[in-house]
Amino acid sequence: MRNLPPNVYLHSYLQKAGVRFNQNLVDTIAKKGFGYSFYVFLILFALLVTAYLTNSLYLFHSNTNFYILSTLVVAYLLLYIYRVVRFRLMRKKLREDNDPIVVEAYAIVLFDISPTNVDKIIKPKKSAVLYKESGSKKPRFFTGAVKSGIEHHYYKDQIARVFIDRRDPKYYSVDDDKFYKTVSEKKLEKGSAYAIGKLVGSKLNKDYKSIGQRPTA
């Protein structure tokens, strides 16, 4: 991919450069909450309840089909609620850790690797801020919450904290809110401009071979 802004990299390129990381599931799911699909199924559930209460089951091919559909809809809603509540509680518990990992904002990563096939490259539709562990010769990398779209703001070298699950490191939470404010205030006091990396509607080519810069891990 050509013409990417500074400090913006494709996931596939970072992977080839030896930068490995797990996507941030905890903050992604906790912040997203209940998406469109949840409300679509909620509306469908309301329609099914209405059909049952008004004795309109004749609208379905058979009563069996109605009950099967109702069971599937209820199961989906319950699993969705369980998933959101689980990760919100997990984020809260993780952030109670008194020994977080200190990290710096490193780049913006565009996810162009298919989640179902790691060998398949796709047009990136999601992005996240990539954080690098501070003060380590072999730093670990983490992402902030993954967002839909490829427009992103971030502050280069912004300090943040990562609260990691010691038993299962793939689960972690990134807290950058407090540090974001601190860094911003310091920059304002010095009268310096923000160092902002922004990707705004760049034309993403189909050529993924050249991305302009090589990151240093």
Q: What is the pLDDT of residue 131?
A: 94
Instruction: Report the C-alpha gap between 98 and 103 in whole angstroms.
Output: 15
Residue 170 has pLDDT above 60, yes or no: yes
What are the residue boundaries of the structural domains of the chain, listed by start? 8-25+99-199, 31-94
Q: Are 131 and 141 in contact (CB under 8 A)?
A: yes
Q: What are phi and psi of 127, to 5 degrees?
A: -150, 170
Q: Is 7 left (phi over 0), alpha (psi -120 to 50) or beta?
A: left
CA distances for 193 relative to 171, 180, 188, angstroms: 34, 14, 7
79-85: Cβ within 8 A, 24+ apart: 80/34, 80/37, 80/38, 80/41, 83/29, 84/29, 84/30, 84/33, 84/34
Taking the model in full, what pTM does it have? 0.74
Arithmetic mean of pLDDT over the chain: 81
Give the list of residues 6+ apart from residue 102 with CB closer than 8 angstroms, or none: 133, 134, 135, 159, 160, 161, 162
Binning pLDDT at 50, 70 and 90, where does residue 153 land? low
Instruction: Report the C-alpha gap between 42 and 81 in whole angstroms.
Output: 11
Residue 182 has pLDDT above 60, yes or no: no
Q: In this predicted model, what pLDDT tens digit does every residue of 117-140 receive, in sequence order? A: 777 888 888 999 999 999 888 999
Give the list of residues 6+ apart from residue 122 with CB closer than 8 angstroms, or none: 112, 113, 114
> Averaged over 4-12, what is the pLDDT?
85
Q: In this predicted model, what pLDDT tens digit does every residue of 14-69 receive, in sequence order? A: 988 899 999 999 999 999 999 899 999 999 999 999 988 888 877 788 888 889 99
> Averaged over 89-104, what is the pLDDT?
94
Pairing verdict, β 147-148 and 152-155: unpaired
Binning pLDDT at 50, 70 and 90, where does residue 171 land? very high
Q: Are 164 and 133 in contact (CB under 8 A)?
A: no
182-191: Cβ within 8 A, 24+ apart: 183/155, 183/158, 183/159, 184/155
Q: Which residue has the higher pLDDT, 187 or 174?
A: 174
